């Protein structure tokens, strides 16, 4: 790309094409004057929170989202617009209460996709109503609003919530592999679950996906428990190659495991694997492990 004429060409391209404008509701919110004092000023009861005449574009979007008679695609776009608006922080604050209320309404909507999106928005915000809906679905007090795995995943967004007992129960039931994988990740925040995670990580009867998910949780919870098991699995030629690749990947990249490179026997074993493994994830992990500098 030669610099000569670069801007000229860019300018031509900019001028000679149909122009798309930003979504009106978002543009209107973005253009709303920013206040100097932050919400201190907006907290002044003498100041109306939503100024201006005419229909408020954000309120219109909330109305569209809430209106079950409208096409789902239209409501989904309204939801996306509102979520985009939420990134404008204080400018969106005057609509937060109505928005949350609409989300709670949509969380039990007939459309599964829209419902799941609303529940996720609420769950990311650690909303207690969403928590109770999800728990009710999992515990049979109502028809589930989302699949079991998704429900566990959404509950897990709140580590001060109720996900832990649910996760243990899902693992005990062992009837939904996807849900189990979500459940083990929840245990990463439970100091009492180290041995359970270790057991799942080393369980050759479990799927590689569940074992690796357990490994990631164990690493996050207690690296001291993870490291020796990861080494053992890497060194075991009878182990699942994907579990070995993932375990070695962690030892290669995560600084606290750099000390494994001081063990000549282990490094020698990794070299041996590299020399014998076919091309694939395990070989790539050995290459990465042996090439990474230690910090």
Site for another protein in 126-145 (CB under 8 A): 126-129, 131-132
Residues 24-53 that bind another protein (CB under 8 A): 26-27, 29-31, 34-40, 42-45, 49
Q: Using a CB cutoff of 8 Å and minimum separation of 24, what contacts does 104-107 make? A: 104/129, 104/130, 105/66, 106/65, 106/66, 106/75, 106/79, 107/133, 107/145
169 binds another protein (CB under 8 A): no
Candidates 61, 118, 134, 185: give the one binding another protein (CB under 8 A): 185
φ/ψ of 241, rounded to 5, equals -65, -35
Name the one range near another protein by CB under 8 A: 137-145, 199-207, 268-276, 283-291: 283-291
The residue among 137 and 161 lying less far from another protein, judged by its C-beta, is 161
Under a CB-based contact definition with an 8 Å cutoff, are residues 132 and 108 in contact?
Answer: no
The count of chain residues that interact with another protein, using the rule CB under 8 A, is 122
Q: Please name which of 54, 77, 56 lies closest in space to residue 65, comparing C-alpha atoms.
A: 77
Examine residue 147 and tell whether it contacts another protein (CB under 8 A).
yes
Applying CB under 8 A, among 212, 270, 273, 277 the residue interacting with another protein is 212
Query: Hunting for tokens 């996760």 — which residue is that?
Result: 167
Straight-line distance from the first to the last Cα atom of the chain, in angstroms, rounded to the nearest whole number? 38
Q: Do the Cβ atoms of 96 and 126 come closer than 8 Å?
A: no
290 binds another protein (CB under 8 A): no
Give the C-alpha separation, 27 to 4, whole Å.
Answer: 35
Determine if 170 is a binding residue for another protein (CB under 8 A).
no
Decide: is 153 part of the binding site for another protein (CB under 8 A).
yes
Provide the minimum distance between the beta carbon of 265 and another protein in the complex, in angstroms, as a whole number: 21
Among 72, 149, 267, 290, binds another protein (CB under 8 A): 149
* φ, ψ (nearest 5 deg) of residue 71: -60, 145
Give the relative orientation of helices 241-253 and 208-221 as an angle to the nearest 10 degrees. Answer: 20
The answer to whether 6 contacts another protein (rule: CB under 8 A) is: yes
Interactions with another protein, residue window 230-259 (CB under 8 A): 241-243, 245-246, 248-250, 252-256
Among 72, 220, 225, 290, binds another protein (CB under 8 A): 220
Burial string for 262-295 (b: 16+ CB within 10 Å, else e) reads eeeebeebbeebbeebeeeebbbbbeebeeeeee
Query: Could you say whether residue 228 binds another protein (CB under 8 A)?
Result: no
Could you say whether residue 200 binds another protein (CB under 8 A)? Answer: no
- Residues from 82 through 121 that contact another protein (CB under 8 A): 83-93, 96-98, 100-102, 104, 113, 116-117, 120-121
Interacting residue with another protein among 106, 196, 210, 219 (CB under 8 A): 219
Among 191, 205, 264, 275, contact with another protein (rule: CB under 8 A): 191
Contacts of the segment 142-151: beta carbons below 8 A, 24+ positions apart = 145/107, 145/108, 145/115, 145/116, 145/119, 146/112, 146/115, 146/116, 146/119, 147/178, 147/179, 148/176, 148/178, 148/179, 149/176, 149/178, 149/179, 149/181, 149/182, 150/116, 150/182, 151/179
CB nearer to another protein: pick between 86 and 174: 86
2 binds another protein (CB under 8 A): yes
Q: How far is the CB of 19 from another protein (least distance, A)?
A: 6
């Amino acid at each position: 790309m030669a610099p000569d004429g670069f801007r000229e060409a860019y300018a031509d391209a900019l001028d000679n094409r149909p122009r798309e404008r930003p979504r009106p509701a978002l543009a209107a919110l973005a253009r709303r004057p920013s206040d100097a004092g932050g919400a201190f000023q907006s907290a002044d009861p003498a100041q109306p929170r939503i100024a201006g005449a005419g229909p408020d574009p954000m309120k219109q979007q909330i109305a569209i989202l809430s209106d079950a008679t409208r096409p789902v695609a239209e409501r989904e776009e309204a939801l996306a617009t509102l979520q985009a608006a939420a990134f404008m922080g204080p400018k969106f604050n005057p609509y937060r209460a109505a928005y949350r209320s609409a989300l709670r309404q949509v969380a039990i909507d007939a459309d599964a996709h829209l419902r799941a999106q609303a529940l996720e928005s609420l769950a990311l915000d650690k909303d207690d109503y969403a928590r109770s809906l999800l728990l009710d679905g999992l515990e049979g007090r109502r028809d589930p609003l989302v699949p079991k795995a998704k429900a566990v995943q959404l509950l897990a967004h709140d580590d001060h919530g109720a996900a832990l007992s649910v996760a243990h129960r899902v693992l005990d039931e062992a009837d939904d592999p996807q849900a189990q994988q979500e459940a083990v990740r929840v245990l990463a925040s439970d100091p009492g679950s180290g041995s359970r995670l270790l057991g799942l990580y080393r369980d050759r009867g479990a799927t590689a996906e569940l074992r690796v998910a357990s490994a990631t949780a164990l690493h996050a919870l207690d690296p001291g428990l993870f490291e020796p098991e990861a080494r053992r699995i890497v060194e075991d030629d009878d182990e699942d190659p994907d579990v070995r690749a993932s375990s070695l990947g962690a030892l290669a990249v995560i600084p606290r495991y750099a000390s494994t490179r001081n063990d000549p026997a282990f490094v020698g074993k990794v070299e041996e694997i590299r020399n014998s493994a076919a091309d694939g994830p395990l070989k790539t992990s050995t290459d990465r492990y042996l090439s990474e500098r230690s910090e």
